[in-house]
Amino acid sequence: MEPFVVRAKAERWRALTQVVTALILVAASVAFVTGGVLRGFGLGGAVFTGLGLVGVVLFGAGLLVAVGRLFVRRPVLVVDDEGVLRPASWPLPAARGPRLRWEEVSALGALRRGVDGTSKGEQDYLVFLPTEEMKEMVRTAGRPHLVALTLPDVPKTALPEGAETASRWCLPVGPGWDVPLPALVKAIRARHEIPVVDRRTG
């Protein structure tokens, strides 16, 4: 079966802003180099030139990354017969991203965070649960434990074994994704029959 690819809508204005910012910083770095050369070979000139060269290298690399992200639209998730892949960001090869194989997954969890009617609204999450203990925890736990899974910076010491992996593979299914959560779950189960624990409403 063909891989199922999930993409996010391109944030063109944000990417363009990053390109313009990087261009300005590269230009400023070139001005430092030019100013250092014009000062001559004294200490001040050497410092200006050194700082400028460092800036050209660092901000030039940032410019290349920003331009690449403007034109290279990588998927956010790829589902195939072997498992799921989160492609690495450009310029790294897509295959360098983290992969989770089906034998490492016991169930899928559908979670929701946020409050409807607020400025940020509600956000759905799809979490790949690595153990039966984690599946049972998601099925029975209260809202605070479920929300903790969606927050990567929260210590998972109070949660069952496998919580760290589950947190790492808890994906926000945002409005920018071209596939809604039900369609994504259906595509996953078409490639690997797996139980689903839906806790979005309770």
Q: For position 174, what pLDDT does the model report?
A: 76
Nearest to 59 by CA among 11, 24, 33: 24
Q: So where are the chain's domains?
A: 1-86, 105-198
* Global model pTM greater than 0.85: no
Which regions in the chain score pLDDT beneath 70?
Answer: 10-15, 40-41, 69-72, 115-121, 152-162, 202
pLDDT, position 10:
62
Alpha carbons 123 and 61: distance in angstroms, whole number: 34
The Cα 66–Cα 111 span in angstroms is 32
What pLDDT was estimated at residue 103?
92
pLDDT on residue 85: 94
* pLDDT of the residue at 34: 84
Q: Which residues of 73-107 are buried (b: 16+ CB within 10 A; e: fewer)?
A: ebbbbbbbeebbbbbeebeeeeeebeebebeebbb
Q: What is the pLDDT of residue 99?
A: 93
